[in-house]
Structure 1
Amino acid sequence: MIVEVVGGTDEVPEVRVVNVDDLTKLHLALGAVTDEEADQVLREAGLGRLQDAETGFLDVAALRAAAEPQAGAADWAQQWDGMVEYAGRKGWLADDGASLQVHVESAASG
């Protein structure tokens, strides 16, 4: 699963959740936006925040709410639970279970 922050219409950044059926990896992909723009649009969407250029935090409940309606796999909910469980074992899940730490990658073409 990928959470993308990209330049949208009129150069206003937008956030999209894509590849929702691939729960073996999760990262934040930033297009041609500044870190500040990415952080702002993530917060406004209620999906999370950017800590720095390499690390973001995504809200578990909001991410699931955004992704699940797009899911095609019959066992998606079980796969989701497995992904969150795995993240917890790796230390990528907040103590309260509300957010996931994710790696930031560039989605900018060029």
Structure 2
Amino acid sequence: MYVEVRSAGEASVQDVENLRELAVRAHGVDVNGISAALQASGLGTVEGDHAWLDVEGLRRSGPAELTQWREGFDGMISYAGKQGWLNEDRTRVRAHLEHLG
């Protein structure tokens, strides 16, 4: 799963079936543009070299009717928590930024 940023106001969740990775992929957008797009879409914020993504925003992007997907998503978030990649109240998950051409 990744959040794709193509402009300073446009961010969308892609590849929701892939619960083995989490990243923000930016196409020709600088850090300020990434931050603006994440905030405008309600998907998160940027702090330093990482994005902090809204867990519920990511969850809503998946197929809600599929119990297996929800369980897999919860497992991904649980793993992130064990790695220290969740904020204190477990509402945001850290993801790395990938700057693409």
TM-score normalised by structure 1 residue count: 0.83
54, 57, 65: which one pairs with 2:52? 57
> Is the CA contact (8 Å cut-off) linking 2:56 and 2:91 kept in structure 1?
yes
2:91 matched to 1:98? yes
The count of aligned residue pairs is 101
Answer with 1 or 2: which has the greater Rg. 1
Structure-2 separation of matches of 1:72 and 1:23:
16
Q: Which residues of structure 2 form unaligned runs of 5+? A: none
Structure 1 or 2: more strand by fraction: 2
Give the RMSD, CA atoms, in angstroms: 1.8
Kindly provide the amino acid, as one letter, of the partner of residue 96 in structure 1: D
Q: Which residues of structure 1 form unaligned runs of 5+? A: none
Distance 1:29 1:22, change over 3 A: same
2:69 matched to 1:81? no
Which ranges of 4 or more aligned residues in structure 1 deviate by more than 4 Å?
Answer: 71-74
2:30 matched to 1:28? no
> Is the CA contact (8 Å cut-off) linking 1:4 and 1:16 kept in structure 2?
yes
Instruction: Give the % identical residues.
Output: 34
Kindly provide the amino acid, as one letter, of the partner of residue 6 in structure 1: R
TM-score normalised by structure 2 residue count: 0.90
